[in-house]
Every structure is written in C-alpha cells, then in structure tokens.
Structure 1
C-alpha cells in the first residue's frame, strides 16, 4: 500500500512526495498535516478541545469525561460488590478485599501503626483506589488517557495529603508545637537551625505536596507519550509500503511491552503516592523524628 502526500515546497520550489522517502525519519516529517504518515504525539494530547462550555471556567473536555467515567465506574463497581458481600466471598469481592488488605498491612499498619492507622485508613484506601483507577484509564481502550495525566487531579490529591498531615500535626502538637516539631529536629547544634529551619519549613509547606504532584503527573504523561509513539510507529511501518514493514513486528512487540509496563507503573505510582502520604502523616503526628 502506497500513499502520496504532498509536502510544502522547499526553498528551491521543488515538491517532495512521500513515495520518495526512504527512512522512518523522513516519513515522520509528514506528520504536520491531516494526511499524515505518522502522528507525532505532543503535549497538546493532554489539552483536547472542549466538549461543553468552551471558553468558560467550567469547560468540559475529554480529560474530564475520562475522569467522570472512571469515577462512576469505580463507585458503581464498589457499590455492587458491597451490596452483594458474603461471608464466603466471590471472585470480585475477594480481589477487592485482597487489595484493601494489601494497602492496610503494607502501607497503613507498617507506617502509622494499628491505632493511628484506623484514623487514616479510609482516606488512604480511598486515595489508593482512586489513583489506581485514574492511572489505569490510560491503558483502557476507548479512554486511552489517564485521569492523572493532567495536573489538576494529582494536585488535588497532593493538597488533600498536605491538608491532612498539617491538620493532624496541629491537633497533636498545637500550631507552635507543630512548627517546632517539623522544623527543629532534636540533637542538632543550635547554629545549624539557622539553615535548617527555612529548609524544613519549605519542605513542609511546598516541597512535599509539590513532589507528590510532579511525580505522579510526570509518570502518567511519559507513559502515555511512549505508548502513542510506539503504537503510531507500528501503524506507520505497517502501511509504509516499503521494506520498513519488516520492522513493524519489532515495534509492535515493544508497544505491547510498554503497554504491560504502563500497567505496572500505574499500580506502582498509586502505591508510592499512598505510601508517601502515610509517611508524611506519620511524621506530623509522631512524638519525635
């Protein structure tokens, strides 16, 4: 199969046709127009046109639609499983219970202990399931975009963590006591506090939740871009009409590998985000560092 696409004329006035291209690099140059050989992904993938309320603060686009679908799917699934819960669980109930037990034992109890863990378990379990579901939307056919691949959702989740550990710390130590607890660790020579206090304060009020946001966002953006690149290259090679078709199976195998790796990263990032949230809460509510 051969396609013919006209490229913009070079300075000399000659016209370049796709049939003259001999390499993948040359073929990629055709990605500028609608009749493209290979679609080059860009950051615009994450800023789709509005579906409703264009040009207003309430703009609703594909990203919000994906988030809404995921949210409804999770609530509906959990509601059905909870309504049909049995003493001897079925497959779906067993999977959910195993996941909750995993989060409870490996994150909550190991970090916060039994007593404090009970207080924050609802928040941390909800956070884990929400992040996992939004992350996995990126590998679901028809959605193909993680709900956490735009900064809004990671930022909201990170600020939820920030508000939780600050409020918990203030309740435990009082305002002044909490600030001292976080910025003046014991056993440090007093002159060092001049340097340490501003750094620790900045870490509490900015760096912790900022790093949570950027880590989750960057991983989901990178994963989406990699998937689009390899799937697009595979499609381009298959329909190139040249010897490059022979490379398509290798590119396709890499795309499948990245697809599986993206599922692993989606689960890993949910675990890391929830674990760090628990650690920050533990640091705020502990008696000493």
Structure 2
C-alpha cells in the first residue's frame, strides 16, 4: 500500500511539472490553427514582455477603429468588449494597467493573507510556538533581522526592519509567482478544452489578463525602482547618522588631498550609482535567464516536432525549473543583504 501511494505521489509530481512547463505552449497552440507554424520567439516574447491589459487614461479621448484619427500602428490598442471595436487614446496621460501591475497586486494580496494572520498568531504568546505556519514565518523574520540587518548595520538597523523584511518577501514572492503557471491561462485553456468558453489568443479573457503568471522582477523598471530605493536609503542613512559631514566623509580617512579630490566624486556620486546599477541588473538578469532557457528547451519540442527531443527537453527544463526555485530565494536574499550592507557602510566613516 505504501509503494502504491508513493507511486501515485510520484506520478502526480511528474504531471504537475509537465503541466507547469507545457502550459505556455498549450495556450498558444489552442489559439492557432493547424496551418500556422509554431513561433518560438513569439512564445518567449509573450511570456517575458509586459503588455497594457486594462485601459486607464486621464484627460484623453477614445478614438475607435474606423474614425479618421484612429492609428493602427499605435503601440497600445484595446478592444471594446461591448462593441467589439478596437480603440486607443489620443492625448491625456496614460496609466494603463499592465500584466506586471496586476501580478504585483496579487503578490501584495498574498503577503497580506500570509503575514497578517501569522502576526496575530505570534502576538498571542511570542514565547510559545503556536503553529508550524507561524513558526516558519518567525524563522525567516528572525534570520533577516538578526543575521542580515543587525550584522550589516552594526546595531543601528531597528528602524530598517520593516523595509528590509517587506523588500525580501516582496522580491521572493514576485520571483516565485513567476514560476507558477498562469492561473488565468490555465482556466482559459480548460474552458476552451471543455467547450465552455472559446479561447481567443488575440483577446484572452479577463482572468488570463489579471493572473498572467509573468515574472514581476523580470522587468527593469521594477528592479531599477527597488535599487533606487536602496540608493535613497544610502544617502538618507549617511546624512542621518553623520550629518552634513557625510558629504566629505564618504572618502576614507587619511587619504592625501590630491587623491581625495579624485576619489570624492567617485565615492559620493559614482559609487552609489554603480551599486544601484549592480542591484538592478543582477536581479533582472537572473530572473530572466532561467525563464528563457526553460521556454527555449520546451519550445524545441514544438519547433522540431520530434519525439527524440522530448526526454532531453522535459528533463532539462525540469532541472532548470528546480534550480529557478533556488535562484528565487537566493536573489531575494542577495538583494536585501547588499541593501543592508550598503546602508550600513554609509552610517560610519571608514
């Protein structure tokens, strides 16, 4: 009985991995006719690039297809669900809701649903283990607080606990959610397979737009924003703990005057910018590379349409997928570790 149960669990795990890996291609296949060739580049671009899904414009005017001002070459064109006509905005200020914005909303909702109940459970009796769930959360929090923030900021990190903890779990959940198959696409494909709904590849249902499964941290605008917040904290902590002296204390003590003149712009201006750039590119590159490799390996099956490449693609993609889970944790850890180190270094002159 135990062997049968183990065999069942193994089969279910293999099925889950295959479902995760094949879902993006199944979505595209269901939206294409048999006469259309499979385009691997289109699949990769679709799952990596951001798109405006829900129109939101302030002060602009809608221009529908067929009107004289309609421009079919415009980047953001939407479809009116009531009339079925395409339209875009002229003038105003575009604040369209994109796939990454909706995924960030989902991540924020998950963080609220996880950490608010955990905090309430821990607050009942902080000295007693209440549940495995609360204990797991507390282990992560204590590790980040004691081994990262306190160690990096030399006992001055109390005021930075909330930001560092929020930063870590936000990046972690954004990384992990990018590895979860699109729930919206899964529902749409299931509905199309059962005949309940018709899946239109060019105009997917709203659930596929809301929960797209895109990796939030695979966008340079997201990683750069997080890195710019770190740069702001570097300067803020420097002025808070050193005052105006931080301006000339950015250069180590004992440097000769001529060398000081050369080093000052490098240490006070270039160094924080370089740290910001490093944080931006490191997170972006690591969270994009793995997804490209997985999509490329699985795409080879549909590109070459050969059974011989299936084992290589599936096994290779599965191994990369497991590695990506580790990378999701690692990159969140590295980002907050470097943030804590950079902020801690600006608190005192060296």
| TM-score class, shorter | 0.7 to 0.9
Aligned-residue offset at 1:50: 2.0
CA distance in 2, matches of 1:268, 1:81: 23
Q: 1:125 to 1:231 in 2, by over 3 A?
A: same
Residue in structure 2 matching 1:148, options 217, 226, 249: 217
Alpha-carbon shift at residue 125 of structure 1 (Å): 1.2
Q: Conserved in 1, the CA contact under 8 Å of 2:48 and 2:215? A: no
Aligned residues: CA RMSD: 2.3
Q: CA deviation at 1:188?
A: 2.3
Residue in 2 aligned with 1:179? 247
The verdict on how the C-alpha distance between 1:64 and 1:186 changes in structure 2, with shifts beyond 3 A counting, is same
Residue 19 of structure 1 corresponds to none
Contact 1:149/1:218, CA 8 A, preserved across alignment: yes
The answer as to 2:335 corresponding to 1:273 is yes
Structure 2 residue 147 is matched with structure 1 residue 106: yes
1:39 is the counterpart of 2:6: no
How far does the alpha carbon of each residue in 1:219-240 deviate from its partner, in whole angstroms, 9 at most, with x for none?
1121221221122224545xx2
> For the residues of structure 2 that align with 1:212 and 1:168, how far apart are their CA atoms?
18
Structure 2 equivalent of residue 262 of structure 1:
324
> Among residues 69, 75, 78, which one is paired with 2:115 in the alignment?
78
With structure 2 as the length reference, what TM-score do the two structures score? 0.65
Residue 130 of structure 2: which of 60, 70, 89 is its match?
89
2:170 is matched with 130
What do residues 139-187 of structure 1 show as CA deviations (whole Å, max 9, x unaligned)? Answer: 1121432211112221221122112221111122223x111111x2113
Give the Cα–Cα distance (whole angstroms) in 2 for the partners of residues 229 and 208 of structure 1: 32
Deviations, residues 64-110 of structure 1 (Å, cap 9, x unaligned): 11111111111112122223335322121111111112212321122
Runs of 4+ in 1 over 6 A off after TM superposition: none
Report the 3-state secondary structure (helix = DSSP H, G, I; strand = E; otherwise coil) of the residue aligned with 1:116. Answer: coil
Instruction: Give the total of aligned pairs.
Output: 249
- Give the equivalent residue in structure 1 for 2:69: none
Match of 1:283 in 2: 345
Structure 1 residues 42 and 186, CA gap change in structure 2 (3 angstroms): same
**TM-score scaled by length of structure 1:** 0.78
2:137, 2:102 → 1: CA distance?
25
State the alpha-carbon separation in 1 of the partners of residues 308 and 145 from structure 2: 49
Deviations 1:37-62 (A, max 9, x none): 35225556433432211565311121
SS at match of 1:174: helix
Establish whether residue 49 from structure 1 lines up as the match of residue 51 from structure 2: yes
